[in-house]
Amino acid sequence: MTRVSTSGNFGVMTSNLMRAQVLQNIAGEQVSSQKNATDLKGYAKNAEVLTAMRSAQAKVAGFLEQSTQVANRLDMQDTSIGQISDGMQSARDSIANAVAAGSAETMMQALSGAFGDVIQGLNAKSNGRYLFSGAKSDTQATTATSMPDLTAAASTASLFQNDQYITSNRIDDTTSVDTGVLADKLGTGVFNAFKQVQAYVDVNGPFTGKLTQAQSTFLSGLLPTFDGVKTTLTTDQAKNGLNQARFDTAKTDLSNQADTLKTMVGGITDVDMAEAITRLESAKLAVQASAQVFASLQNSSLLNVLK
């Protein structure tokens, strides 16, 4: 004969009910958070691998953020160097046109405008910092504002306020690239070319109206100088462009690495939603069944039979 124990049955069913509730809570948390666990302890043997992958994620994210910032600065440098180069080309064209026409009626005005473009390019900013000032990024690169400043200064070098620090940035753990460009390197040849014009004006008077033979000869002799400076600026812009390409490629590679790591981490941390929902529904059903059996036991007590 099987011995019936009401208290024993109650104990078993209470245990089953509590276990079903725990499983329901776990499944509910996984469905709401879409994660397998809320801490490393919940990932057991994968905890060490997960920690390593998250460390790699942080490193890649750091390089990606830096690459994005550097790429933006290189874009600004490209625009600014291009503006300086265009200013030189505009000045060269103005001189050539004056020589060809035999008249300098508007040449000095055009040269003044071109020099203004050069100054604007040299004093360009990115995120509120001067691009070509080296480490002195809170100081404008040149104090020159107009062509007369070129001959008024003690020397061309005195017009530049940058130091000689060249910014270097890392592409990855093993590769660093010099990305900075200095104002004196960009502008010394430019200033000296414009300075020759201003020095001639200071001594011989301004260019107005029809050119004399001496003026025409002088201006013709300047064209190779302006061409040479323009070529140097084109080379500087091309070097900056190579750095742009390198960091654009690095951004793409780092983005791919970040996506791969995210997928790998997700394979450990992300819950299978279909499976989790199924387990949640099963756990709810188990809780309901246990609760129903528990309630039934109350009516099957020996005391109820004796009554």
Q: State the average pLDDT over residues 157-175.
A: 89
Helix (H) or strand (E) holding 145: none
* Rounded-to-integer distance, Cα 237 and Cα 85, Å: 9
Q: Domain check: are 27 and 101 in the same one? A: no
pLDDT value for 191: 97
pLDDT at 222 over 60: yes
Q: Domain check: are 19 and 92 in the same one? A: no
Total domains, the chain:
2
pLDDT at 195 over 50: yes
Both tokens of 110, joined, read 């055009």
Q: Domain check: are 24 and 151 in the same one? A: no
Q: Domain check: are 154 and 209 in the same one? A: yes
pLDDT value for 304: 58
User: For residue 39, is it within any domain?
Assistant: no
User: For residue 127, is it within any domain?
Assistant: yes
Other C-beta atoms closer than 10 Å to the C-beta of 151 total: 17
* Rounded-to-integer distance, Cα 268 and Cα 95, Å: 69
pLDDT at 55 over 90: no
| Residue-number span of the structural domain to which 278 is assigned | 6-34+271-306
| Residue written as token pair 């093993």 | 174
Other C-beta atoms closer than 10 Å to the C-beta of 249 total: 12
Residue 136's pLDDT band, with cuts at 50, 70 and 90, is very high
Q: Which residues of 31-64 are buried (b: 16+ CB within 10 A; e: fewer)?
A: eeeebbbeeeeebeebeeebeebeebbeebeebb
Q: Domain check: are 103 and 189 in the same one? A: yes
Q: Domain check: are 104 and 164 in the same one? A: yes
Q: Domain check: are 17 and 130 in the same one? A: no
Q: Domain check: are 163 and 275 in the same one? A: no
pLDDT at 306 over 80: no
Q: Domain check: are 121 and 224 in the same one? A: yes
pLDDT greater at residue 151 or residue 24: 151
